[in-house]
Chains A and B, each alone.
Chain A
C-alpha cells in the first residue's frame, strides 16, 4: 500500500530564512507520481509540482526547489528566502499509475509552515 510521511508537523522560521519540508514515501510500484500542494488559510489546496518516478531531475521554480531521490524514497521541498506569504500547510502526495495502483493520491499529514516577519 502506498504511504506518505511528513514527519515535520510544524516549522517556524523568520522571514528570509531557507526552509526544507521533508517527504518520505512508500510504494511497491515502479511507476508513480509525486505531488506537492499548498493549503493557505483560505482552505483550497493549490498545486505546486508533479514529478513522475522516472524523472529524478531536481526542479527549481523561483524561490521553490524540489529534490527527488528514489534511493531514499524522498521528495523534499525547499523554500529559499522565505516570505510571510509562504505561511501555509504543505502537503506531499503520492499517486500510483493506473497499471499498478489505485489511481487515487494519498496525502501526507502536512507540514504547517509559519514565517514570522
Chain B
C-alpha cells in the first residue's frame, strides 16, 4: 500500500520563477495538507484541501496557491519565487480534516531558490 508520494524530490529555481509541486495521497485518504519546513524549523501549515476546495489556510501570501483533483491528488503552486521560499515542502494526507486525524506525510520536495 503506497503512502504519500511527492514529486519532484528536488528542484532548483531562480527568483521570480514559478514552481508546481505534486502530491498523491495515501490510498483511502481524501484530505491533503501542505506544509513548508525551513531548515531547522518545524512544519508550517500552508493550506488544506478537501472535496477539491481549500478548507483552511495558514499565514502564507497569495503567491501560494493549490488545487485538489477528483482523485484527491493535489498540487502546490508558488509564483514569483523569493529566496525565502527555499524549504522542504511536505504534503500530508488524512481521512477527513478533524484535528484528531493522524497525518501521513510524504518525503517532501526540496526547493532551492537562487
Contacts and interface: CB of A to CB of B under 8 A. Distances in A.
- Mostly helix, strand, loop or mixed at chain B's interface? loop
Nearest to A50: B102
Contacts, number: 72
Interface string B95-114: 00111101111111010000
A61 to B, nearest CB: 15
Interface size class of A (residues with CB under 8 A): 20 to 34
Of listed A4, A37, A46, residue having the most chain B CB within 10 A: A37
Interface of B: 3-4, 33, 40-45, 48, 55-56, 58, 88, 90, 92, 97-100, 102-108, 110
| CB-based closest 7 A-B pairs | A107-B42, A95-B99, A45-B105, A44-B107, A43-B107, A43-B108, A44-B105
